[in-house]
Structure 1
Amino acid sequence: MYKDTNKRSIAKGVSWRFFATTTTIIIVYVFFGRLDLAIAAGLLETVAKIGLYWAHERAWFKIKWGRKKIEPFNIWFTGLPLSGKTTIADAVYKELEKLDIPIERIDSKDIRDIAPNIGFSREDRNRHMHRIGHLIKTLQNNSVSTVASFVSPYRESRKAIRDMVKNNVVVYVKADIETCKVRDYKGVYKKAISGELKNFSGVNDVYEEPQHAEIIINTDNTSVEEATIIIVKYIKKNYVK
């Protein structure tokens, strides 16, 4: 991604003004045959247009009509491991990117790769969710929306997120645990069942279903494409009008 620097923007403005003024001078000279008149007209046009452009922009800056303010939102995907959270969240993020709004993607795996020493006890997870809430809040303070996907198995941590951030949309990605086991390409459910993995949500630790989720997606009978349409439609209706 490239962004014009101030110097580049100034250079573009000056070059455009030069070509525009030169064009005016040539046109006046062609019609009247007087170079002095052509140069005077070109200079007068330059000064006049700079002043008029400034006044025009100042006037529109004060006019609120037609402005669209997009409040930053957070889509919080929660559900059992391998319920489909990350896959759907990735698809939703790609669709929302097309709306040309500031938005970031936050996934539990990426965060744990950065901070691998985060534990899986209830206390550790709640503390971890609190940190994520602060991260999202900071992004929202800079007008950046977020798409976050975390197992987040405890109601108290999800409530903490809702209390910390604005416009929090909980998407409960629901799936039968047997379905999740079938999708277990990493073998984590087998390790949890055998006791090799501790504090594994849905096996040897609880997953407390959301009671007030804005959207519920049952991936046993809903495709990624269908889920994406449902969620994006909700966001467009409520936040990106």
Structure 2
Amino acid sequence: MFIESKSRSVVKAISWRLFATTTTIIIVFIFFCRLDLAIAAGIFESISKILIYFVHERAWTKIKFGKKRIEPFVIWFTGVPLSGKTTIADLVYKNMSKYSFPLERIDSKDIREVIPEIGYTRPDRVRHLKRIEHLIKTLQKNSISVVSSFISPYVESRQSLRKNTDNYIEVYVKASDETLRARDSKGVYAKAERGEIVNFTGVSDVYEEPLDPEIIIDTDIMSVEEAADVIIKYIRKNVLKGVIGL
């Protein structure tokens, strides 16, 4: 798949203008047999149409008819470790980045690399997600939508996000214990069960299942591509409905 680059669009616009001007010159010359008149007509046509187009575009920027504001939203992926939320969120972000509105990607791993002193106790996690909530609110104030993936194990944190952010869309990504352990190439679940990792969600710390998520993704039966497609279709239907080009 190819997309139109800005440089290609500029070259196409210039080539079209040259072609149109040349056509005008030829037509005028055919009718009047005067090259000077034909060239003058071509130059006048080019300048006048550029000015008219500029005025036309400036006028339409002030006309609200047909405009649809895209309200910033947040897609919040939640689920136990290795459920697949980060992989799906990455693909959703990649596919939606093609659309013409600002979109950011936030993942727990990236944030913890920036703020490594964050702990894993319940108070630590709740406080951490309040920071993320504030970050998302700041992005949304600047009309930026967000794709986020965090374990976010507690209902209270997710309810706070739902209450305090705009257009909150909760995606619960789940998988069976067998699937989780099959994906566990680093053996973190086994380490947690042996007590080598404390406060590990799903083993030594609770994961409170979402009460009423907008979307439930079961990665036992759904591929990453299928899951991303379901989520994007939901966004287009419920958030971006009526937006041309999406």
| TM-score band, normalised by shorter chain | 0.7 to 0.9
2:111 corresponds in structure 1 to 111
The 5-angstrom pairing of residues 43-122 of structure 1 reads 43-122=43-122
Partner of 1:193: 193
Residue 228 and residue 42 in structure 1: after superposition, are their counterparts in 2 closer, same or farther (change >3 A)? closer
Give the structure 1 partner of residue 37 of structure 2: 37
| Gapped regions of structure 2 (runs ≥ 5) | 242-246
**Which has the larger displacement, 223-232 or 13-22?**
13-22
**Residue number in structure 2 paired with 1:153:** 153
Distance 1:183 1:12 in 2: 49
List per-residue Cα deviations over 1:4-58 (Å, max 9, x = no partner).
69xxx7x998998678657645654564344553454345324432332233223
Bigger shift: residues 191-200 or 223-232: 223-232
Residue 220 of structure 2 corresponds to: 220
Is the deviation greater in 192-201 or in 169-178?
A: 169-178
Deviation at 1:69? Answer: 2.6
Moved more, 100-109 or 194-203: 100-109
Q: Which runs of 5+ in 1 are unaligned?
A: none
Aligned to 2:144: 144
Q: Aligned residues: percent identity?
A: 63
Work out whether residues 78 and 152 of structure 1, in 8 Å CA contact, stay in contact via their aligned partners in 2. yes
TM-superposition CA deviations, 1:113-169 (whole Å, max 9, x none) = 222222112222122112212222232233322211100111121122223321110
Contact 1:77/1:173 (CA < 8 Å) preserved in 2? Answer: yes
- Tell me how far 1:228 sits from its aligned partner: 2.1
Distance 1:3 1:127, change over 3 A: farther
* Cα distance change, pair 102–63 in 1 and its aligned pair in 2 (3 A): same
**Is the CA contact 1:80–1:177 (under 8 Å) kept in the aligned structure 2?**
no
Q: Are residues 178 and 22 of structure 1, via their aligned partners in 2, closer, same or farther at CA, if it must alter by over 3 Å?
A: closer
Summarize the Cα distance change of 1:233–1:22 in structure 2 as closer, same or farther, 3 Å threshold. closer
**What is the identity, as a one-letter code, of the residue corresponding to 1:200?**
F
Looking at structure 1, the residues matched to 16 and 179 of structure 2 have their Cα atoms a distance apart, in angstroms, of 62
CA RMSD for the aligned pairs?
3.1
CA spacing shift, 1:16–1:138, aligned 2, 3 Å: farther
State the alpha-carbon separation in 1 of the partners of residues 226 and 118 from structure 2.
Answer: 34
Q: After superposition, what is the alpha-carbon deviation per residue over 1:191-236, rounded to whole angstroms, capped at 9, x for unaligned?
A: 2111111111111111111112111122233332332222121111
**Structure 1: how far apart are the matches of 2:31 and 2:17?**
21
- Post-superposition shift, 1:111? 1.7
CA distance in 1: counterparts of 2:173 and 2:18, whole angstroms: 58
- In the other structure, the counterpart of 1:235 is 235
- On the 8 A contact 1:74/1:145 being kept in 2, the answer is yes
| Structure 1 CA distance for aligned equivalents of residues 5 and 119 of structure 2 | 40
User: How many equivalent residue pairs?
Assistant: 238
Distance 1:202 1:233 in 2: 30
* Contact kept? 1:91, 1:228, Cα under 8 Å: yes
Other structure's SS at 1:169 match: strand
CA contact (8 A) 1:78 1:171 kept: yes
**1:175 CA drift (Å):** 2.4
TM-superposed CA distance for 1:184, in Å, is 1.5
Residue by residue over 1:71-110, the C-alpha shift from the partner in whole angstroms, topping out at 9 and shown as x without a partner, is 2211101011111111222222233234444322221112
